[in-house]
Structure 1
Amino acid sequence: MARVRLSVAERRDELLRAAIGQIEERGVAAVRIADVAASLGVSNALVLYHFSTKEKLVSAAFAYAAEGDLAHLRRLLDRRGPALRRLRAAVRWYAPTGQAKGWRLWIEGWAVALREPALREVGRGLDRQWKAAITEVIAEGVAAGEFECPDPAATALRLTALLDGLAVQLTSYPGSVPRARAQTWVDEALARELELSPQALSEREG
């Protein structure tokens, strides 16, 4: 059966999604152009036509994944309703106990970024935009009188540091931290940062 002819943009998206899948399965160091091509049943030459080197394919794949994560974050934070509800929805989604996908991908990315400037810039850009979005919704909540937070930017940094660290524990060392306990720690940290009790956090969200 003949393959459906895709536009350049559609083909590029298909290749990037395949690259993300292969990176998550094999790791950046082990993945090859041939692996991405084989997963789609296309030639190596087709992959190289769109991405002339493995390094360019990998960097583009991480950027593509970052854009997808940021788009979902913005959808959560742009909803109507109290800032606290939107903030907690974002934290729950991003937390390693939530529905966000790709923690294996990002842990791979953090490791490779130590040696690859292009990937380091992708990761840094995602990190800055995530923190800026969280900072903004916290500031909205403070302005609306929903909670107290003297330094929204510092709170955003501490929350993301906790979530990233828990992600490493739960993803790299399964069983090291019970998922329920990790979620409790996240809820307690959020309540503490907003100067609320855990009970008040749940009540005000509702």
Structure 2
Amino acid sequence: MIVRKSASSRRNEILRATLDQIQERGMNATRAADVAEALGISESVVFYHFRSREDLMAEAYGLYTRTSSDLLEEAMAAPGSPSERLQRVLTAYIPHGNIRDWTLWLEAWTAARIDPRMADILRKQDKFWRSSVEKVILEGIEARVFVTDNPAAAAWRITSMIDGFGVQLVVGFNTREATTLLTWLEHEVTRELQLDPPLPLRGQLQN
């Protein structure tokens, strides 16, 4: 007996395969035919579910950002002190171990320069991450463990530094250089929020 997949299941399967192909080939080189071949289906099946290659790419990233947001919300919901929560959120943001996330984001940032849909997806995701960091900073201020007169600006500067760190790691920095960058990030977070002791992040690279 042949078991047919539901439309929703097939769509999600195609979207995940699209992300795999983007990671392997890069966005510009990824075709619907590559996705179809990876799944052992015809290209027409891909275009039955998605009107165009552009729709396929945008929806794949839409799925990915929702998954990323869900993971961050789980990290935010876990108990702990403001310092522990900030460490958990920043660790989720920092590329370490498997850098799949950052490979995909780098591809998306490049595409966003000329693709308004991709730019909108990334703009919303960036705002979500920054606001999450800002929320934890505000909790720390209320608990009198963080000190800053502009939580929003502090969150923006911290996440922007991580963005730069992530790009440099994706394009080939070795572990020693990445550890140095994490040391600078620890220093910046400590300075921004007047922490004592500093927030440890270097050990997260190998986790």
Contact 1:15 1:47 in 2 (8 A): yes
The alignment yields a C-alpha RMSD, in angstroms, of 1.9
C-alpha deviations, 1:31-85, integer Å up to 9, x for none? 1000001111111111101111000000011111111111111111111121210
Contact 1:73 1:90 in 2 (8 A): yes
Distance 1:113 1:119, change over 3 A: same
Unaligned runs of 5+ in 2: 201-207
Q: Which TM-score applies when normalising by structure 2?
A: 0.90
Partner of 1:147: 146
Partner of 1:72: 71
Q: Within 5 A, what are the aligned runs for 1:127-166?
A: 127-166=126-165
Partner of 1:112: 111
Q: Within 5 A, what are the aligned runs for 1:89-108?
A: 89-97=88-96, 101-108=100-107
Contact 1:93 1:99 in 2 (8 A): no
Return the alpha-carbon distance in structure 2 between the equivalents of residues 66 and 40 of structure 1: 22
Partner of 2:203: none
Partner of 1:194: 193
Partner of 1:57: 56
Return the alpha-carbon distance in structure 2 between the equivalents of residues 71 and 173 of structure 1: 28
After the TM superposition, list the runs of 4 or more consecutive aligned residues in structure 1 that deviate by more than 6 angstroms.
none
Moved more, 94-103 or 43-52: 94-103
Partner of 1:45: 44
Letter in 2 for 1:90: V
Return the alpha-carbon distance in structure 2 between the equivalents of residues 39 and 200 of structure 1: 46
After TM superposition, give the deviation of residue 5 of structure 1 in Å.
Answer: 2.4
Unaligned runs of 5+ in 1: none
Letter in 2 for 1:155: A
Distance 1:75 1:15, change over 3 A: same
Return the alpha-carbon distance in structure 2 between the equivalents of residues 99 and 44 of structure 1: 30
Letter in 2 for 1:38: E
Letter in 2 for 1:103: W
The total of aligned residue pairs comes to 200
Return the alpha-carbon distance in structure 2 between the equivalents of residues 113 and 143 of structure 1: 37
Return the alpha-carbon distance in structure 1 between the equivalents of residues 104 and 66 of structure 2: 14
